[in-house]
Amino acid sequence: MVYICEFEFYRSTSGNVVADPLSLDMEGTFGDDLADAVESAFDWLSGVVDDALIEGRGMPPETFGHEPRHGGRVIAIGVSRELGDIPAMTAADAARTLGISRARVSQLISSGKLDSWRDGTKRMVSRASVEARLEYQDV
């Protein structure tokens, strides 16, 4: 899946370069300079697309031709993502990594604390959500 989103890049009062997604009703990201903000926008959009893929929902329709709202510069950022591109592990591997039972992994998935999806007969869990649980020790 290829998704393209136009961002407005402009300098904030604090000196950062803001990357405001123009076709999504969401808060964007920022960077130290334009190059850093473009990289942040790419990472941000990749995360938004990953979430949509994991949750099985579509992205809003792409719209183009936006005018700057803050006197900045409009740049289109594109990402190509498929569910298989998301770093993941099986639910059994997630249980071993977290040092918990598979039943507890199922509870964490049900409560939204681990991101998961089905790949055939396997339950896959995003590596990022497992790493977040390890970091916060919220297992």
Query: Rounded mean pLDDT of the chain?
Result: 94
Beta strands 116-119 and 88-90 are unpaired
Q: Say if CB 74 and CB 7 are below 8 A apart.
A: yes
Cα dist from 45 to 7, 23, 80, 122, whole Å: 10, 12, 10, 27
pTM, two decimal places: 0.83
Q: Say if CB 97 and CB 130 are below 8 A apart.
A: yes
Pick the CATH number of 2-83 from 3.30.160.250, 3.40.50.11810, 3.40.190.10, 3.40.710.10: 3.30.160.250
Residue 138 in this model has a pLDDT that exceeds 60: no
Domain assignments of the chain as residue spans, ordered by start: 2-83, 87-136
pLDDT digits (tens, 9 = 90+) for 16-33: 999 999 988 899 999 999
Residue holding tokens 């089905």? 118
pLDDT digits (tens, 9 = 90+) for 81-120: 999 999 999 999 999 999 999 999 999 999 999 999 999 8
